[in-house]
Structure 1
Amino acid sequence: MIGLYVVGVVVVLALIIGGYRSRTDGRVREPRRGADAHPQERRLDTESLGADLGSEATFVQFSARVCAPCRATHRLLSEFTSAANSGTDSSRLAHIDVDAETRLDLVREFGVTRTPTVLVLDPHGAVRQRIVGPPRRADIAEALQRLGGVSSVRA
């Protein structure tokens, strides 16, 4: 009889954790700001990323080689980037993929605890949005809309 109670508790816990993850994965959030955080500490630049920032926004995706959702996220972000850059301004939106295993300095600085994590930067490299987990198309559109300038982009 005790075994059935244990199984029941495990099933309930699994359902709670699964429900939480499905509600929070891929959601757009404002970056966390601690009491002692300074906005200039939350910036990324061309030198630290090894690639140019977009003129209106940049996606910085933290990925790992063994992460299947990272590949799907990469494809989705690439679609948005291609759609945004199809006009006359080919650098409007940038997508930079960061290997979380080799760039531990950035992983620690930005508190990346799982992959994929996407930081949405403004034109100056300030982190404006954060998406943890595999985003949906609507989540990416929402992040761009919150940022302002690239809200008309649809992939």
Structure 2
Amino acid sequence: MTGVVVVVVVLAAATAFGWWRKRRDGRFRPLDASADHLAPASDSVALAALGVRPGVVTLVQFSAPVCAPCRATRRVLEEARGTVEGIALVEVDVEERLDLARELDVWRTPTVLIVDAAGRIVQRASGVPAKDEIIAAVTPLLAGARR
């Protein structure tokens, strides 16, 4: 009887984790700028080292060569960039820039950061985001950048 209970508990926990992961994966989350690890000064130095230019809304993708979802994310980001004018795309190989990935609190690939024209990370997503969600996230930032 104990074995049956253990199996049921493990299956329930795995199901709950899978449901949670599916709901969260690829969704953009706004960032709390007051958090210690998101200090704008340190972020701007790391982002500049990655090639993010001030005054441009930028999508920064952290990926790895062996990551299949990273290739799908790259395609989606390029489609979004082709649809919406005025956004830049920077792809970062985490194996080459692990120090900056850690500094920006990136712990899995693919991770996409949305950087506004002021050089602040405003949203992030882990996993493959939807093209419509990317466009919805960057459009207000572009309107603010054109003023």
TM range (shorter): 0.7 to 0.9
Match 2:134 to one of 137, 140, 143? 140
Deviations 1:101-135 (A, max 9, x none): 11012111111011111011112322111112211
Which residues in structure 2 correspond to 1:112-123 (within 5 Å)? Answer: 112-123=106-117
Which residues in structure 2 correspond to 1:4-23 (within 5 Å)? Answer: 4-23=4-23
Task: Please say if residues 57 and 88 of structure 2, whose CA atoms lie closer than 8 Å, have aligned partners that are also in contact.
Answer: yes
Whole-Å separation in 2 of the counterparts to 1:54 and 1:136: 25
Which region of structure 1 is more displaced relative to structure 2, 65-74 or 134-143?
Answer: 134-143
The normalised TM-score by structure 1 is: 0.80
In structure 1, runs of 5+ residues without a counterpart are 86-91, 151-155
- Paired-residue identity, %: 43
In structure 2, runs of 5+ residues without a counterpart are none
Task: Please say if residues 117 and 130 of structure 1, whose CA atoms lie closer than 8 Å, have aligned partners that are also in contact.
Answer: yes
Number of residue pairs matched by the alignment: 141
Which residues in structure 2 correspond to 1:4-153 (within 5 Å)? Answer: 4-32=4-32, 33-35=34-36, 38-43=39-44, 44-45=47-48, 48-50=49-51, 53=53, 56-85=56-85, 92-149=86-143
The normalised TM-score by structure 2 is: 0.84
List, as ranges, runs of 4+ consecutive aligned residues in structure 1 with deviation greater than 6 Å. none
Task: Please say if residues 115 and 133 of structure 1, whose CA atoms lie closer than 8 Å, have aligned partners that are also in contact.
Answer: yes
In structure 2, relative to structure 1, the CA distance for the partners of 1:139 and 1:84 (3 Å cut) is closer
In structure 2, relative to structure 1, the CA distance for the partners of 1:111 and 1:18 (3 Å cut) is same
Higher helix share: 2
